[in-house]
Chain A
Amino acid sequence: EDKVVQSPLSLVVHEGDTVTLNCSYEVTNFRSLLWYKQEKKAPTFLFMLTSSGIEKKSGRLSSILDKKELFSILNITATQTGDSAVYLCAVLLGDSNYQLIWGAGTKLIIKP
């Protein structure tokens, strides 16, 4: 069965800290891995990673994929209280343009 596992399930840090969120996967037909941020509403897209070793960066957020070890990490540097959210990882399967297998998310709380 295809599965995506995120760790830790929750994380509490102080403003200014750097955090690393993990996402590992076991799927039969991998195409891409996506990261979303979910606050108290709609998940919003952060990154899509398809190739190993190429870092994607957006401001204080960055992410990288390792297709050999089957995982991805999402880094957030100089965290701010506005980064508090659930971060979701999903894998897009290769035989469709839409089938996403989702992890349960990491709940990140940034304390001032």
Chain B
Amino acid sequence: NAGVMQNPRHLVRRRGQEARLRCSPMKGHSHVYWYRQLPEEGLKFMVYLQKENIIDESGMPKERFSAEFPKEGPSILRIQQVVRGDSAAYFCASTPAWGGYNEQFFGPGTRLTVL
């Protein structure tokens, strides 16, 4: 059973370009969470999605960032017009669609470097 998959693992962008980060949840999981981890800091919650639905985007910057989780295909975190401050590791986690707290299984992350 494959775990949470993220790609690319490393992404280099120049300022002003767009970054697209992909996350495929574990098989049978329909809830996805995105986190950002800056160097020497803890993970920061960004957004929680279910299929075709954004449940909580309270941690997302208001501008340039968007996320989706379509009916088919991976979840996408999109960062438009990247700036140097966007350089970070972006982790995705997934849980099944059951009630109560479920252990979040993490992907290996995408390390974004903005030149």
Number of interface residues of B (CB under 8 A): 26
Given A98-B48, A98-B95, A105 contacting B106 (CB threshold 8 A): no
A19 at the interface (CB under 8 A from B): no
**Proximity bits, A73-108, B CB within 8 Å = 1, else 0:** 000000000000000101010001111111111000
Contact A100 B41 (CB under 8 A): no
A8 at the interface (CB under 8 A from B): no
B42 touches which of A4, A44, A48, A98 (Cβ 8 Å): A4
A43 at the interface (CB under 8 A from B): yes
Provide the residues of chain A in CB contact with B56, threshold 8 Å: 96, 98-99
Q: Looking across the interface, which residue of chain B has its beta carbon closest to that of A44?
A: B106
Provide the residues of chain A in CB contact with B101, threshold 8 Å: 31-32, 92, 97-98
Contact A100 B109 (CB under 8 A): no
Q: How far is the CA of A97 from the CA of B48 in the complex (A)?
A: 11
Chain B positions near chain A (C-beta within 8 angstroms) = 3-4, 31, 33, 35, 40-45, 48, 56, 91, 95, 99-109
Chain A positions near chain B (C-beta within 8 angstroms) = 4, 9, 31-32, 36, 41-45, 48, 88, 90, 92, 96-105
A42-B108, A98-B33 given; 4 more Cβ-contact pairs under 8 Å = A42-B91, A90-B42, A98-B95, A100-B104
24 examples of A-B residue contacts, CB within 8 angstroms: A4-B42, A9-B40, A41-B108, A42-B3, A42-B4, A42-B91, A42-B105, A42-B107, A42-B108, A42-B109, A44-B106, A45-B104, A48-B103, A88-B42, A96-B56, A98-B31, A98-B56, A98-B95, A98-B101, A99-B45, A99-B56, A102-B44, A104-B41, A104-B42
